[in-house]
Structure 1
Amino acid sequence: MKYRRLGKTNLNVSEISLGTWQVGGPWGSGFDSASAIKIINTAIDHGVNFIDTADVYEAGLSEAAVGKVVRSRKEEVFVGTKCGRQITPHTNENYHPKELRKYVEASLKNTGLECLDLIQLHCPPTEVFYRPEIFELFDRLKDEGKIKNLGISVEKIEEALKGMEYENVATVQIIFNMFRQRPKELFFEQVKKRDIGVIVRVPLASGLLTGKFSAASTFDADDHRNFNREGAQFDKGETFSGIPYDIGLEAVEQLKALFPNQKNLAPIALRWILDHPEVGCIIPGASKVEHLLSNITASDLAPLTDKARKKVDAIYDRWVRKHVHHRW
């Protein structure tokens, strides 16, 4: 495993880290604490030292599993969690510092940790990024020893750019992959300028970039890849990176032709992300240990050649760009 500095947090984190949205089992299967704990422990055994979770993942069970494992290990493992998505209805008007404080304190209780290495606003409405009083709260929480760093998780480049204007924002969590390339433009330019740590989520486009799906693939009723393709429950861009499923399959076939010796495209897709030095770490999820072990191999792969990168860009330009580039 290789490590990178996560912007002005000054944390040295594993470039392949772990996201825990579905760590307790496959989408829609319910939460299996034993499975989650096994996956998290295996990740740490293989050098992963940053774990991303959120208070809404399985109603706090994900946070609890992460905290239990981290507290049991001798290694230094950094924990990032998120707050705000419990607000119902999830609107700008319902965001208040008092409520956000309650969520942060609940996360401390869920994880059993005395201080959170990173707390992130969890994809709030765009208007929230224009409210200084929301961001000022986290300075107070830092002074109180409850958090070490503040980050933002965003859907849109606009939100990232606005959020980075606040001095206390140290990280941005964003969707970036072969099928969502817009961040490498103005966003990466500003990241370097402001020393922001970049955490990449949805790196495999909800599994599309593994190359294992087909037109015949089915997803459980409770799986967001079934019910959220048009944004029925949350931002459409979180599911298959916002690409129409059939278009995504066509683009993946082009990638398979480009990398014909790869039965599993996931490590290649992750390596493509790592080839961008602005990235601090990637947080692919894993519902099975074998998924985790596959993802970790990306850290040891050689960078893609210039020729391969140009061909990936060409596939994006032909098949994907018009569906996503202007939206997020």
Structure 2
Amino acid sequence: MKYRTLGKTGLKISVVGVGTWQFGGEWGRTYEQREANEIIGRAKELGINLIDTAECYGDHVSESLVGEAIRGERDKWIVATKFGHHFHRNFERTVNYDPEDVVRQLESSLRALKTDYIDLYQFHSGPDDSFDREELWETLNKQVQAGKIRHLGISIGSNENIYQTSRATDVNAETIQVVYNRLDRNPEKEVFPSCMEQNLGVLARVPLASGLLSGKYKPGTTFASDDVRSRREAEQLWRQMEEVEAIRREEVPQGTDMAAWALAWCLNNPVVTCVIPGCKDAKQVESNAAAVELVKAGHPQDV
């Protein structure tokens, strides 16, 4: 495994993390504790030390599975979670960034994760008017001072949200989480330059374009109704799958696993600190970790 410094946080994190949205049940299946233990256990064996979860991956369901899986080894992990949403049922959430409610969300996350601190607590895809509430950030910074949060971050909803990105330092946020992959390079225009200027750590989510860049899916593939990908516009999915086919032919070296190539493609950007792909089982953790073999040396954040 390779490690980088996560911006101004000073945290040393693995360049490949474990994304855990799938644990919440919106990717076509549910997970038992044993399965979560296997995934996270294999990640640890491979040198991965970053887990990204959220309050609304299920009603703290993902956090609960993660918390149990790392019980007794909390100090071995960098745990990132988020705030701002209440989960009601699959694909149905309401948002709440009221400072008092966010404190309640934080306490719920701490209980679910079975910990007394969160390494990275992220504003979760919220609108600009919620972001602009000074009392929200004052409240969060008090929680940092109290030791319940080590670092604050922003998970921007639109990967072109330069408004929130450019104000990260003003609210004491030290990281940006953003959708970035070979099919969607929008952050390169404004978001990444701002991150570099502020020395923000960058967590690239959806680095495999929701699995499309794994190379497993052909144009015309459909997804089950309990899979979040089924909610996408069919024509757009078709176009993206055609683009993936072209990338495989023209850019991926022959004999190279496409998923590993796609993760390394993200990691070779000098602004990206790490990728946080999801993984349905331990075998996919191994596949994701293999991307480090394709990552170039000399990244500005290398440890």
Residue by residue, what CA displacement relative to the aligned partner does 1:278-321 show, whole Å, maximum 9, x if unpaired? 111110000111111111111111549xxxxxxxxxxxxxxxxx
Of 151, 165, 170, which aligns to 1:166? 170
Partner of 1:245: 237
Of 277, 290, 301, which aligns to 2:283? 290
Residue by residue, what CA displacement relative to the aligned partner does 1:148-196 show, whole Å, maximum 9, x if unpaired? 1111111222244244142410111100111111212221111111111
Of 114, 117, 128, which aligns to 2:119? 117
Q: Identity percentage over the alignment?
A: 36
1:221 aligns with 2:225: yes
- Could you say what secondary structure the match of 2:216 adopts? coil
- Could you tell me how far apart the structure 1 residues matched to 2:274 and 2:30 are? 27
- Could you tell me how far apart the structure 2 residues matched to 1:262 and 1:128 are? 47
Residue by residue, what CA displacement relative to the aligned partner does 1:230-286 show, whole Å, maximum 9, x if unpaired? 4xxxxxxxxx9xx81111111111111122524641111111101112111110000
Of 187, 202, 206, which aligns to 1:183? 187
**Gaps in structure 2 of 5+ consecutive residues:** 298-303
Structure 1 segment 299-318 matched on structure 2, within 5 A:
299-303=292-296
1:149 aligns with 2:151: yes
| Residues 168 and 251 of structure 1: CA distance in aligned 2, closer, same or farther (over 3 Å) | same
Q: Which has the higher helix share?
A: 1
> Once the 2 structures are TM-superposed, how far is the Cα of residue 128 of structure 1 from its aligned partner?
1.5
Structure 1 segment 53-202 matched on structure 2, within 5 A:
53-73=53-73, 76-86=76-86, 90=94, 94-156=96-158, 157-158=160-161, 159-202=163-206
CA contact (8 A) 1:118 1:147 kept: yes
> Once the 2 structures are TM-superposed, how far is the Cα of residue 72 of structure 1 from its aligned partner?
2.6
If the length of structure 1 is used for normalisation, what is the TM-score?
A: 0.82
| Paired letter, 2:190 | L
- Could you say what secondary structure the match of 1:214 adopts? coil
- Could you say what secondary structure the match of 2:102 adopts? helix
Residue by residue, what CA displacement relative to the aligned partner does 1:22-46 show, whole Å, maximum 9, x if unpaired? 1477822123221111101110110
- Could you tell me how far apart the structure 1 residues matched to 2:12 and 2:125 are? 24
| Residues 162 and 298 of structure 1: CA distance in aligned 2, closer, same or farther (over 3 Å) | same
CA contact (8 A) 2:263 2:291 kept: yes
- Could you tell me how far apart the structure 1 residues matched to 2:256 and 2:2 are? 24
The number of residue pairs the alignment matches comes to 290
| Residues 302 and 135 of structure 1: CA distance in aligned 2, closer, same or farther (over 3 Å) | closer
1:268 aligns with 2:272: no
- Could you say what secondary structure the match of 1:51 adopts? strand
Of 274, 278, 287, which aligns to 1:281? 274
Residue by residue, what CA displacement relative to the aligned partner does 1:19-71 show, whole Å, maximum 9, x if unpaired? 11114778221232211111011101100011001121122221122122223
Partner of 1:36: 36
**Which stretch of structure 1 is more off in the superposition, 177-186 or 35-44?**
177-186
| Residues 23 and 291 of structure 1: CA distance in aligned 2, closer, same or farther (over 3 Å) | farther
CA contact (8 A) 1:24 1:36 kept: no
| Residues 167 and 219 of structure 1: CA distance in aligned 2, closer, same or farther (over 3 Å) | same
- RMSD between superposed Cα atoms in Å: 2.2
- Could you say what secondary structure the match of 1:170 adopts? strand
- Could you say what secondary structure the match of 2:269 adopts? coil
CA contact (8 A) 2:27 2:226 kept: yes
CA contact (8 A) 2:117 2:148 kept: yes
**Gaps in structure 1 of 5+ consecutive residues:** 231-239, 305-328
- Could you tell me how far apart the structure 2 residues matched to 1:290 and 1:301 are? 18
- Could you say what secondary structure the match of 2:174 adopts? strand
CA contact (8 A) 1:24 1:287 kept: no
| Paired letter, 1:205 | A
- Could you tell me how far apart the structure 1 residues matched to 2:133 and 2:166 are? 10
- Could you say what secondary structure the match of 1:226 adopts? helix
